[in-house]
Amino acid sequence: MTNDEPSALRKYIADSLEKERQPAAEIKPRKASRRTVDPKIFITDVLVNGPVPTNTVLQRGAERGLTKKQIWYARERLKIVAFKELGKNGCWFLALPNHER
């Protein structure tokens, strides 16, 4: 009993050889990171001369590609102090721990 169809093994081998002959898929480079600075270094540099309004820190961070979440995470890791000016319309400030009042 002869069958004109190749066996399953022969089909598998033929398919494998065909795949090897095809050009490899082009490797795409990784997406470039939006972040250009380290959040910890950034927040330390901004606060080195004393307390800075929180809105200013967030705005400068956004200009450098940092998100609010990244800045807040760095703030927690560095134990940055947050405080509010006295009064009803007081502004929030961030300061390094050694600049605490």
- Helix/strand/coil (H/E/C) assignment for every residue in the chain: CCCCCCCHHHHHHHHHHHHHHCCCCCCCCCCCCCCCCCHHHHHHHHHCCCCEEHHHHHHHHHHCCCCHHHHHHHHHHHCCEEEECCCCCCCEEEECHHHCC
pTM: 0.61
CB 51 within 8 A of CB 66: no
Architecture in CATH of 39-99: Orthogonal Bundle (1.10)
pLDDT value at residue 87: 83
Structure tokens at 7: 């066996």
Confidence category of residue 58, pLDDT binned at 50, 70, 90:
very high
pLDDT value at residue 44: 93
Domain segments of the chain as ranges: 39-99
pLDDT value at residue 76: 94
- For the segment 33-53, the average pLDDT, to the nearest whole number, is 86
pLDDT tens digit string along 59-100?
999 999 899 999 999 999 999 999 998 888 889 999 998 875
